[in-house]
Amino acid sequence: MEIKKVGVLGCGLMGSGIAQVCATAGFDVTVLEVEQKYLDKGFVGIEKSLVKFAERGPEKGGITPQQKGEILARLKGTTNKADLADCDIVIEAIIENVEDKKKMYASIDGVVKKEAIFASNTSSISVTELLTSVKRPERFIGLHFFNPVPLMKLVEVVKTIATSAEAYEAAYEFAKRLGKVPVRTSDKTGFIVNRLLVPYLLDAIRAYEEGVGSIEDIDSAMKLGCGYPMGPFTLLDFVGLDTTYYITHVMYDEFKERRFASPPLLKRMVMAGWYGRKSGRGFYDYADPAKPVAGKF
């Protein structure tokens, strides 16, 4: 089956990024949201990102102003599920909540053509649990993108015990056509990246709680000592403390190991509404986003 038209569920940070890379790779994309205002917000983000690529220019891996126009023309927003009917693959990137995701899949299963592949961008929820909500379990996979989607090269392609080899390979090839590097993984909570990344991020918080170093010093140490692009606290704020906190629950529930459990400080910051960069405050204060100031807790 040839993939030509892509549906994306959700136009938040991940959904808009996924829609952008699909349109950039030449696919016609329809993005579904519950309200027009969320589409408008997501499309503003896409436009901003495309402006950056256009400023860089094709010789440095960017795009031409003409290509920017063509990419935007391939993107369509909708609040009507019927517009997804002829999509060949539908990638879900809505809120990280099992019941909401299952409800969404169940509501489009009868609308989207039956040969289409359903993919979830979930970072921690079991893909197998999600596929119980549809009548096409063999055409259901995980496609896990990374933030910021237009820049990060990796896509984890997640196979469940019910996924057919044909649907899996089609999704794997599709990820390549997006200009990404796909890796094969199975439906074990956290897949490859979060299985290794989450305990590292949580350990950074524990190290801070134990007085090993300040937030700035731990960040500098990991950036300069290991060559990471961001230190753990900068990355935690970037990913979102609420998102990380949610992932700790799912992973701890699966493995029952302390390394996946939330440290007390993370829980308290989430309770206080300090979600990181998106809420203006996390391990750093972003009152001036160009000059984040590390907190002392």
Cα 69 to Cα 76: distance, rounded to the nearest angstrom: 13
Q: Is 225 in the site for ligand 3HC (CB under 6 A)?
A: no
Tokens of 5: 């038209």
What lies within 8 Å, CB to CB, of 109 at 6+ separation is 118, 133, 134, 135, 136
Measured from the CB atom, is 152 or 162 closer to ligand 3HC? 152
Q: Which stretch binds ligand 3HC (CB under 6 A): 105-113, 141-149, 202-210, 261-269?
A: 141-149
Measured from the CB atom, is 225 or 229 closer to ligand 3HC? 229
Dihedrals φ, ψ of 284, to 5°? -115, 160
Known active-site residue 166: no
243: three-class secondary structure by DSSP: helix
Q: Is 270 in the site for ligand 3HC (CB under 6 A)?
A: no
Known active-site residue 16: no
- The number of residues in the chain equals 297
Q: Is 183 in the site for ligand 3HC (CB under 6 A)?
A: no
Cα 9 to Cα 101: distance, rounded to the nearest angstrom: 10
Cα 234 to Cα 262: distance, rounded to the nearest angstrom: 17
Among residues 27, 38, 43, 53, which is the contact residue for ligand 3HC, using CB under 6 A? Answer: 53
Q: Which stretch binds ligand 3HC (CB under 6 A): 81-89, 144-152, 158-166, 282-290?
A: 144-152
Among residues 47, 68, 109, 148, which is the contact residue for ligand 3HC, using CB under 6 A? Answer: 148
Active site residues: 123, 144, 156, 194
Can you give the binding site for ligand 3HC, defined by CB under 6 A? 49, 52-53, 56, 123, 146-148, 150-152, 194, 229-230, 235, 239
